[in-house]
C-alpha cells in the first residue's frame, strides 16, 4: 500500500542535514529513557526502543529519498547487520516509499520531454503505483499499449554526495559500527547510486543484459522504449503479475515454485559466471511472476566484476582450495581477507571463519539438486552471521578487510538464496567453471 503523498523533498543540504540531526536527537532522547527503564529492570524496553527508532529513522530517510533511502534498502537485505525491527522497516524502501505528488511529476516531464505526462500518453495515473529510493513508477497507456514509467525524484543526483556524508555518522551510531566497517557500504552505495540516477545508462545497460540473457528458459524481460525515456524518465512495457513476495503467499503447485526458483538461479548464475556483470538488486519488488515465468523488471543496479577478483573469489569454493590450506590462505590473501600484517593468532582465528563462510555459500553448488525449502540451510547461514557478528574480537579484525567488490556479490547471492528459500524451491545447481590456481 502506498503511503501519503509528499508535496516536496528537502533539497538544500542544510535542510536535509537538519532532518537527520533532528531524528538523531529524538533517538538519543529515546535511548536515555530506554537505559533508565533498563536500570529499573523493565522488560521489553530494548525491543520497543528498536521498533520506535526503526520507524522514526525510516520515516526520515523515506522523505529525503536518494542516498539515505538507498542505504536503508541495502541494509535491509543483511539480516545479520541490523536488528529485526530495522529490517522490517527498511525493507519498505524496496518499493513502497511515500510517493511524490503529481505536480512534481508533471514538472519533471516538462523539464525532460517538454510536455506533461498526459500529452505524452493517452492515460497516466496521477498516483504512483510503486515508489523506492531513486524514483517512483506510474502506469500509463498509449494507443492501446500499457507502460510502466519510472520518474526520478527531483534533486536525488545533486544531493548524493552531501547526503552520504550526513548519513555516515548517523548510521555509525545507529548500528554501532566503526567507520572502517560502514565506509565500504557507503562507498559502494555512492558508486551504484550515481549510476542509478542516470536512466539513459540503465536503459542502455538493461538492453544489453537482456539481449545477452534472452536465451534463459522461463526468464522474461519488459521492453524499454527509448523514444519516451530520458536521463530522469524511463519507460518500459507494463507487465501484469505478482511480485515475488506476493507470490509467496499464493496457493501454487510445487512444480511451478521450482520452475520460478530455477529461473532465478539460472538468471543470476549466468550473469555472474558468464558475463561477470549482473543484476545486483535481488529484492522481491524487482521480480514478477506471470504464467509460471519470471519477469525481471529493473536494471538500475548492476555490478561488474574484475577478472582478478572473480577468479580468486570463486576459486575459494573449489574442492582443491577447500582441501588445501596453503592454497586457501593464498586466495584469501589475493582478495585482502588475510593481510601480511596479521599475527599467527589473527590468522588462526580468521581462516577457520572464512572457510566456514565459503563452505556455507558454496554448498548449493555441490548438489545436483538443492532444496532451498529446507529451512535448516538458511537458518545455518543466519546463525553463522549472528555468531560471528556478536564476536567483538572477530568484528574488530574483519571490519576493514577485503574489497568492496564482494559487497554486491555477497548481497546478490544472499538475496538469491533468500528468494529461493521463500519459494521453497528445489533447484538444479552446478559448480561454476573457474580456475583454482
* Pair 191, 205 in one domain: no
394 or 14, greater pLDDT: 394
Would you say residue 37 has pLDDT above 50? no
Indicate if 37 and 127 belong to the same structural domain.
no
β-pairing, 369-371 with 426-428?
Answer: antiparallel
More confident site: 315 or 194: 315
> 21-24 long-range CB contacts below 8 Å, 24 or more apart?
22/60, 23/56, 23/57, 23/60, 23/170, 24/170, 24/173
Instruction: Indicate if 221 and 301 belong to the same structural domain.
Output: no
pLDDT of 33 strictly over 70: no
Report the C-alpha gap between 195 and 300 in whole angstroms: 7
Residues 232 and 291 in one domain: no
pLDDT score recorded for residue 394: 83
Pick from 9-18, 268-277, 289-298, 311-320: least confident:
9-18
Give the confidence band of 180 by pLDDT, cuts at 50, 70, 90: low
Note whether residue 277 is domain-resident.
Answer: yes
Up-side HSE of residue 315: CA atoms within 13 Å toward CB?
A: 20
Q: Are residues 44 and 131 in the same domain?
A: no
| Boundary of a domain, candidates 174, 207, 238 | 238
Do 221 and 349 reside in the same domain of the chain?
Answer: no
Q: 281 versus 156: which is more confidently predicted?
A: 281
Residue 298 shares a structural domain with residue 341: yes
Q: What is the pLDDT of residue 344?
A: 94
Does any domain span residue 351? yes
Q: Where among 167, 195, 223 does a domain terminate? A: 195
Which are the contacts of 357, defined by CB distance < 8 A and separation ≥ 6?
Answer: 384
Is residue 4, in this structure, part of any structural domain at all?
no
Q: What is the predicted pLDDT for the residue at 41?
A: 43
Of 133, 168, 195, which one is at a domain's C-terminal end? Answer: 195
pLDDT digits 0-9 by tens, 302-361: 999 999 999 999 999 888 999 999 999 999 999 989 999 999 999 999 999 999 999 998
Q: Which residue has the higher pLDDT, 414 or 88?
A: 414
- Are residues 218 and 122 part of one domain? yes
pLDDT value, residue 434: 47
Give the mean pLDDT of the chain.
79
Residue 284 is assigned to a structural domain of this protein: yes
Within-domain flag for 297: yes
Query: Residue 3 falls within a domain, yes or no?
Result: no
pLDDT at 31 over 50: no
Binned at pLDDT 50, 70 and 90, residue 178 comes out as low
pLDDT at 377 over 70: yes
Q: Are residues 115 and 66 in the same domain?
A: no
Domain range enclosing 165: 13-94+159-195
Same domain, 189 and 260: no
In a domain, 166, yes or no: yes
pLDDT mean over 207-224: 95
Residue 112's pLDDT is: 96
Number of domains in the chain: 3
216 and 110 in one domain? yes
Q: Are residues 274 and 315 in the same domain?
A: yes
The reported pLDDT for the residue numbered 425 is 96
- The pTM score is 0.77
Residue 6 lies in a domain: no
* CATH number where 206 lies: 3.30.200
* pLDDT interval class at 39 (50, 70, 90): very low
- Whether 65 has a pLDDT exceeding 70, the answer reads no
Amino acid at each position: 500500500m502506498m503511503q501519503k503523498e509528499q508535496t516536496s523533498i528537502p533539497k538544500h543540504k542544510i535542510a536535509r542535514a537538519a532532518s537527520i540531526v533532528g531524528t538523531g536527537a529524538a533517538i538519543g532522547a529515546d535511548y536515555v529513557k530506554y537505559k533508565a527503564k533498563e536500570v529499573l529492570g523493565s522488560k521489553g524496553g530494548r525491543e520497543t526502543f528498536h521498533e520506535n527508532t526503526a520507524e522514526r529513522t525510516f520515516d526520515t530517510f523515506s522523505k529525503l529519498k536518494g542516498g539515505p533511502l538507498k542505504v536503508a534498502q541495502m541494509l535491509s537485505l543483511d539480516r545479520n547487520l541490523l536488528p529485526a525491527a530495522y529490517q522490517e522497516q527498511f525493507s519498505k524502501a524496496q518499493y513502497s516509499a511515500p510517493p511524490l505528488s503529481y505536480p512534481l511529476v508533471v514538472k519533471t516531464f516538462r523539464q525532460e520531454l517538454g510536455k506533461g505526462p498526459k500529452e505524452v500518453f493517452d492515460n497516466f495515473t496521477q498516483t504512483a503505483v510503486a515508489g523506492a529510493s531513486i524514483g517512483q513508477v506510474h502506469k500509463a497507456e498509449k494507443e492501446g499499449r500499457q507502460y510502466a514509467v519510472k520518474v526520478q525524484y527531483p534533486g536525488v543526483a545533486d544531493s548524493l554526495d552531501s547526503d552520504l556524508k550526513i548519513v555516515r555518522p548517523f548510521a555509525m551510531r545507529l548500528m554501532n559500527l566503526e567507520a572502517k566497517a560502514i565506509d565500504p557500504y557507503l562507498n559502494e552505495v555512492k558508486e551504484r547510486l550515481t549510476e542509478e540516477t542516470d536512466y539513459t545508462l540503465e536503459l542502455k545497460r538493461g538492453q544489453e543484459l537482456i539481449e545477452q540473457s534472452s536465451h534463459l528458459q522461463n526468464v522474461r524481460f519488459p521492453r524499454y522504449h527509448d523514444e519516451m525515456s530520458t536521463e530522469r524518465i524511463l519507460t518500459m512495457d507494463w507487465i501484469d503479475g505478482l511480485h515475488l513476495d506476493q507470490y509467496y503467499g499464493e496457493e501454487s503447485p510445487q512444480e511451478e515454485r521450482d520452475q520460478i526458483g530455477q529461473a532465478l538461479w539460472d538468471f543470476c548464475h549466468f550473469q555472474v559466471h558468464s558475463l561477470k556483470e549482473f543484476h545486483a538488486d535481488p529484492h522481491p519488488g524487482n521480480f514478477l511472476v506471470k504464467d509460471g515465468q519470471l519477469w525481471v523488471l529493473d536494471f538500475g543496479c548492476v555490478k561488474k566484476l574484475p577478472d582478478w577478483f572473480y577468479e580468486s573469489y570463486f576459486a575459494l569454493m573449489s574442492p582443491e582450495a577447500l582441501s588445501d590450506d596453503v592454497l586457501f590462505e593464498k586466495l584469501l590473501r589475493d582478495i585482502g581477507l588475510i593481510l601480511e600484517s596479521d599475527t599467527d593468532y589473527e590468522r588462526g582465528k580468521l581462516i577457520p571463519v572464512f572457510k566456514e563462510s565459503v563452505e556455507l555459500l558454496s554448498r548449493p553448488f555441490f548438489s545436483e539438486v538443492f532444496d532451498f525449502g529446507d529451512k535448516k540451510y538458511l537458518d545455518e547461514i543466519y546463525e553463522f552471521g549472528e555468531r560471528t557478528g556478536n564476536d567483538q574480537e572477530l568484528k574488530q579484525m574483519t571490519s576493514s578487510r577485503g574489497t568492496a567488490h564482494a559487497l554486491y556479490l555477497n548481497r546478490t547471492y544472499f538475496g538469491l538464496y533468500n528468494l529461493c528459500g521463500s519459494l521453497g524451491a528445489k533447484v538444479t545447481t552446478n559448480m561454476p567453471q573457474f580456475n583454482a590456481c
